[in-house]
Chain A
């Protein structure tokens, strides 16, 4: 079943096209990773789906086109984790995760006990219970990332968008964060679209990669199909070796230009 579909999505900023005619269909529980050099339009696809930038074409959830004017409906179906979330340092962890319930709370009312139950479940699942009274300013980078994912989970949306989820984390926390997302995907059947720079990690976790370049899709498929040294050279301008592990992992190793 199709969880989210893009039809001819085009995003333009001041007349310059950032994304041109992006089409894709993701089945429920699929993890799609957008890769490509800076400015390729990865983030714009995510931001359009999250309703943050105006776009042409359409985005549909379960074959229902997202109503243009309803931020609330969109937030009930798509959770968005930005690359650099704004962290109000004196907000408590509990308050922060509670913000994820906003799409379900009427304009002038406040949270119900059901909303609080959802938060308790999310905090439990992500091992954040002991932090619930802590201020955001006292948390480490890895904890903050987990917290932002917790807020997205509290939205109970079937589709999760992750913009550079690991760019601010060390290698250990990168792995932890992606493992967490992957296990949540398996448990809850979340459909995930992420934009990532680390090609090896992208290939390791995503079912499918889409390589973007100047707003266009230029390659698509599994890590093995997309991550080829000639493709990377063409679109990233990088000189890299691609190494295939026996277990199917594709490793991208940048090469130094030879100094003789």
Chain B
């Protein structure tokens, strides 16, 4: 009899997952819809859902949206919303994975040098006469940011594993802090010699989605998909690693290999989104923590939920960024921190995050 009790209990625990995932999916869909409906110009917001339905095959509705207005929605707003969703989901799932693999609630890819490396790469491009370089066949800005981010993490990884004890993740995080401050110093030096680009670099660092095109979406989509799939496949192993490196090893996990793969995947995905949108801070920390407070700390749920709520969060944060100072843009990084920080503090107050 007692066996049936536990079976039903564990079944209960499993049955909650699809419900959470369905709710998460609904939140994303809702936020995407809202994101498509709101903007400084374009058709009346309430006409958009009908127009969207009209584009579903075999459905015909007269929504009263003109062709020009629809183009505005489809070419300006839609790529921006999709890009925000991809970036938000990538940053969040990377943050959640980093926190899992290092068993440290404060790490995300930015901490291992992604942010500083990308920042330095972008700064160098800005100093090279942006007017000419932006017309090259391949825009060097995202490329430089991408390469900068990857190189920074590579240096961190090599230094961290060479000098640190073999399996400790803490050394790696400390190496990341050192590499970050060194790259930031170089960036400051370069900027000081080229003070004319300070404004451009600063605005890049704050992150923006304003110039999003379908091309941007296509550019990062492969990276985001591959990285996310790899991370999601590791979610059960990340749960085993919650008992620490030694015990995970004794339970048959090749801890170093798993950590390397997860760090690589999360870094690659983050570097690709950073290259296109600049540094959008705070997402990789607050979204996974908010998710843990809502659904518990099991990475099997935290990773997929972070993807969904991260997407919804960034789409939502992008709305004030468009309309707050309309027609000017408020940098999305400012909005994520400005909304995110108090929201996060509120969550901390309601539930004890240290558990």
Contact = CB atoms under 8 A, between A and B. Distances in A.
Given A71-B252, A86-B244, A105 B236 contact: yes
B253 A137 contact: no
Contacts of B240: 99, 102
Given A52-B249, A71-B249, A90-B355, A99 B7 contact: no
Given A52-B246, A99-B243, A120 B251 contact: no
A74 B248 CA distance: 12
A101 to B, nearest CB: 9
A51 B249 contact: yes
A74 B243 contact: no
Interface string A63-76: 00000000111111
Given A123-B6, A129-B5, A90 B296 contact: yes
Contacts of A6: none
Nearest to B10: A94
A102 B249 contact: no
A124 B2 contact: yes
Interface string A99-125: 110110101101000001001100110
A137 B244 contact: no
9 contacts: A50-B250, A72-B252, A88-B297, A90-B296, A90-B297, A102-B251, A105-B236, A116-B7, A132-B6
A44 to B, nearest CB: 13
Contacts of A79: 250
A164 interface: no
A82 B6 CA distance: 27
Interface in B217-258: 233, 236-237, 239-240, 242-244, 246-247, 249-254
B239 A129 contact: no
A82 B247 contact: yes
Given A72-B252, A80-B250, A91-B242, A108 B298 contact: no
Contacts of B243: 85-88, 96, 99
Pairs of residues from A and B, 10 with the lowest C-beta to C-beta distance, nearest first: A75-B252, A103-B252, A86-B244, A72-B252, A80-B250, A88-B242, A102-B251, A90-B355, A90-B297, A129-B2
B350 to A, nearest CB: 15
B353 to A, nearest CB: 10
Contacts of B2: 124, 129
A133 interface: yes
Contacts of A103: 251-252
A229 interface: no
Contacts of B6: 94, 120, 123-124, 129, 132
Interface of B: 2-3, 5-7, 9-10, 13, 233, 236-237, 239-240, 242-244, 246-247, 249-254, 296-298, 355
A92 interface: yes
Contacts of B249: 50-52, 71
Interface string A183-216: 0000000000000000000000000000000000
Contacts of B247: 80, 82, 85-86
A4 B3 CA distance: 34
Contacts of B237: 107
Contact of A91 (B9, B10, B298): B298
A239 interface: no
Nearest to A116: B10
B252 A110 contact: no
B5 to A, nearest CB: 6
B252 A82 contact: no
Given A95-B298, A105-B236, A71 B253 contact: yes
Given A90-B297, A95-B239, A51 B250 contact: yes
